[in-house]
Structure 1
Amino acid sequence: MSTPQQTRSLARVAVDAQTLADLYAAPEALRVVNVWDAVSARVVAQLPGTRAIATAGHSIAASHGYADGEQIPLDLMIDAIARIASATDLPVTADLDGGFADAGETVRRAIGAGASGANIEDRLRPLDESVAIMRAAVEAGEREGVRFALNARTDALVRGGDRPRDASIADAVERGRAYLDAGATCVFVPGVLDADDTRALVAGIGERKISVIGLPGALTAAEYESLGVARVSYGPMPQNVALTALKRLGESLLADGVIPEGTEALNNF
């Protein structure tokens, strides 16, 4: 497997990590359109409103023919992150799933690939175990001289099962506070969050300390921003939209259609 030549020094990654931390803390929520390869990264990076690049682990796995959930070999995931980082000058934050069994080593390799931050999932493991994973990720960055911008993900809502919603929110708050104490920059709470959920999470964890996902049925990014959210991402949805467009185009072409006029040549390197 051929990996692109590393173009970001540790000093540059460290600067990018501080940039990510500043973007999370800013009054305007950081909006990231998740990417999965070099060409999607380049297209998104060229958009005027893009301030950072975020990878989507699910989408990277799918593009290599793997299911989500660390089914893709770590070498392939790191290679994909390196290719994405080589396609843009913007800070890159990577989706590292649950840390691939060794969060510290995985973060070290992600930094080497050019990432200055990452999502790591707690998968609703016991709290002490989850805190240790997040701390290991942060400490791996420190050993590399990088204040790694960890967006610590808690699955308290998406894996909460049948327990009452308020119990899941309380669990997310407890976990989020613990992850911040362990050195995380932000806390990612996936799920469709309404305004009340969001207010409770921001009140419990901190203003500009919450990261959310913009799924169908969620609030708009502007609404989340007004409630004190730091970051809004979109996970695998951008790839789903792109593949839906490809499917519709394929149906048209197979039915004797033509390429639509105005189609841009966005894949020119």
Structure 2
Amino acid sequence: MSASPGRAETFRALHHGRVPGDPLVLPGPWDAASARVFAEAGFPALATPSAGVAASLGYADGSTPAEEMFAAVARIARAVDVPVSADVEGGYGLAPKELVERLLEAGAVGCNLEDSRDGVLLDPREQAEFLAEVRAAAGDRLFVNARIDTFLRGVSDPDRTIERAALYAAAGADCVYPILARVEVLPLLRAGIEGPINVGAGVGDGPSPAELGERGATRITFGPGLQRAATAALKDIAARL
């Protein structure tokens, strides 16, 4: 299965024209069954979490072989009629053209690409060059979400995040994702960053998606939170059995 250009454009359009308080909410399916649950609930698109998929396959976060990750994404995309974006970590060392081909073959309409490796932030200009090559290979067939790992790696100055965001947007990223950005810093990021901003939300705690949207989020994802919540629920069921 390969994603159609029309589905990618549909997904891209979901990120634009949104009003504060109404961000795009993208649940994170970890397998075909969870994807169907979210699609049947009415969500217009989905975004796989690499950690959640890893757990479903029996791997630690960051340890899933590329072949298994793309196969999992393909099963998820095949199971639903809504656009699916895929978290492919740092790209698994693939050349941009091959990475794009693998994503499209799996049926994905977008991807997350992170800018740290082995716990260390990558040079932002080198990452921007990589993103530009991905954009050139993909054209408008993929929505590129550039994850910014500054807060994750202990760089708390929002200006460093804004600088990376500007480089990545200039390289062709459609959206940036300052993972673990504090709620109170979101308005500053919104003021300094052009284009859509992805913000991570908790499951059952913390600010609601609407509240995060009021503070500047364009779209909301949950990382592995939904998969972990489902696992916790299954543990409760198992204990009762």
Normalising by structure 2, we get a TM-score of 0.91
Q: Does 1:151 align with 2:142?
A: no
Aligned to 2:24: 30
Q: Retained in 2: the 8 A contact 1:192–1:214?
A: no
Q: Which residue of the other structure, out of 208, 215, 224, is the alignment partner of 1:227?
A: 215
Q: Does 1:107 align with 2:100?
A: yes
Q: Does 1:134 align with 2:134?
A: no
Q: Does 1:45 align with 2:33?
A: no
Higher relative contact order structure (alpha carbons within 8 Å, sequence separation ≥ 6): 2
Q: Which runs of 5+ in 2 are unaligned?
A: none
Deviations 1:100-152 (A, max 9, x none): 1125122220111110101100112011111122112212212xxx4421011
Q: Which residue of the other structure, out of 61, 77, 80, is the alignment partner of 2:72?
A: 80
Tell me the secondary structure at the aligned position of residue 63 of structure 1.
Answer: helix
Aligned to 1:174: 163
Deviations 1:141-168 (A, max 9, x none): 12xxx442101100011112xx5x3x2x
Q: Rg: which structure is higher?
A: 1
State the 1:219 CA deviation: 2.3
Residues in 1 aligned to 2:16 and 2:150: alpha-carbon distance in whole angstroms: 23
Residues in 1 aligned to 2:182 and 2:211: alpha-carbon distance in whole angstroms: 11
Q: Which runs of 5+ in 1 are unaligned?
A: 1-5, 254-269
State the 1:192 CA deviation: 4.9
Aligned to 1:213: 200
State the 1:23 CA deviation: 0.9
Q: Which residue of the other structure, out of 230, 241, 244, is the alignment partner of 2:232?
A: 244
Q: Retained in 1: the 8 A contact 2:114–2:149?
A: yes
Q: Retained in 1: the 8 A contact 2:53–2:72?
A: yes
Normalising by structure 1, we get a TM-score of 0.82
Q: 4+ residue runs of structure 1 moved beyond 2 angstroms?
A: 215-219
What do you get for the CA RMSD once the two structures are aligned? 1.5
Structure 1 pair 233/81, CA: closer, same or farther in 2 (3 Å)?
same
